[in-house]
Amino acid sequence: MYVFEGMQILLHTRGVTLPRVSIDDDVRRHVYDVTMREGTPPSASRLGELASLPPGEVAASLERLAAARMLVLRDGEVLMAGPFSAVPTPFRVTTPTFTCYGNCIWDGLGIAATLQCDVDIDTSCGDCGAAMRVAVRGAEVRGSGTIHFALPARQWWQDIVFT
């Protein structure tokens, strides 16, 4: 039995009620805890160690989180824990403590919002490839250029990698 659920039942029988934390909530917490400290999502095997779960339960939980559009998977591993990417992209984000990658320019800005810190985003013009840098300093964004959303919002999840 999953340890949190076991504890909740035990405490409930003694008249204590804790907020319910599901396996998926716990796995997601570990995904973001590691990603926000290190810049890259953890592997499925590391998630198993962190959440004290066997591989099959980790895999099932990740699948449920992906079905709920909270994560994007590739070959059973976390590919995107929005706004972070598990693989290098054209949106390299430098924070005070690590360098990581956003899935798009919006996610590059989203990393600054998630971590609540200053960042530099190194990217390039989608057309001509010229290097571009965007900086977030406090509540301000600095840089130049225009963001293009190619797909209408209702289509974003039809092909999230392209989006």
Partner 1 sequence: MLLFRSEEHIDRWCTTWRLPKGALLTLEEGWRLARVWYGEDRRDPAWRRRTLEETEAVFAELGLTSGFWNLR
Chain residues that interact with partner 1, rule: CB under 8 A = 19, 21-22, 25-26, 28-29, 32-33, 36, 68-70, 81-83, 104-107, 109-114, 123-128, 130, 132, 134, 136, 141, 143-154, 163
Provide, rounded to whole angstroms, the least separation between the CB of residue 75 and partner 1: 23
Pull the structure tokens for residue 2.
């999953």
Which helix or strand (DSSP H or E) is residue 77 part of? strand 77-81
Provide, rounded to whole angstroms, the least separation between the CB of residue 127 and partner 1: 4
Q: Residue 33 to residues 8, 27, 29, 62, 75: CA-CA distances in angstroms? A: 23, 10, 6, 15, 22
Closest to partner 1 by CB, 69 vs 74, is 69
Provide, rounded to whole angstroms, the least separation between the CB of residue 42 and partner 1: 13
Provide, rounded to whole angstroms, the least separation between the CB of residue 43 and partner 1: 18
CA dihedral over 113, 115, 116, 122, signed as positive or negative: negative
> Sheet of 77-81: strands edge to edge?
72-74, 77-81, 84-85
Closest to partner 1 by CB, 44 vs 115, is 115
Closest to partner 1 by CB, 87 vs 113, is 113
